[in-house]
Amino acid sequence: MSPLDHASQILDTLLGYLGFAVKIDKDEGPEGLTLMIHSQEDSERLVGKRGATLEDIQYLVNRVLQRHVPGAPRVRVDVDHYRAMREDQMLDQVREVGERVRMTGKPEWLPPMNSYYRRLVHQVFVNDPELQSSSQQGQARYKRMRIAKRPKQG
């Protein structure tokens, strides 16, 4: 059984014990392994406030998967494309902040975010000749990021 099939079985069992009747699609796309939960009436409950419940479900699925299949790749769990819509919205806001920093020259801090979202933000500015992103140091799960002008070369 592939890691994605195993993760799908873990997710289906977990949600079944919690009383959710859902359909789960598996995808091995460019973002990696993804399990997409489709639910008619339970989407909001599965996502939770600002995606917190969805984050917890994904964490549990990956912990159980790692215990059963050591070295298995991380699996992304989504509900009715919530993550994709949220990522697009968040990246639009980050680009707006970048334009403000470009215009004013004043650095700005973004709200705290987990490592996955910080990596997405870094990708926005990795090839930008004027702006750069940096994360706060420390061990916190959610960290703030700073968008600032790149130092002048030369």
* CATH classification of the domain holding 145: 3.30.1370.50
Q: Do 91 and 136 have their domain in common?
A: yes
Token code pair at residue 42? 């339970």
Which whole number is the average pLDDT over 25-44? 87
Which residues have C-beta within 8 Å of that of residue 8, sequence separation ≥ 6? Answer: 24, 26, 35
Q: What is the pLDDT of residue 154?
A: 58
Same domain, 74 and 105: no
Q: Is 108 helix (H, G, I), strand (E, B) or coil?
A: strand
Q: What digits encode the pLDDT tens for the residues 53-81? A: 998 999 999 999 999 999 999 999 999 99
Which residue segment(s) compose the domain that 93 sits in? Answer: 85-149
pTM for the whole structure: 0.71
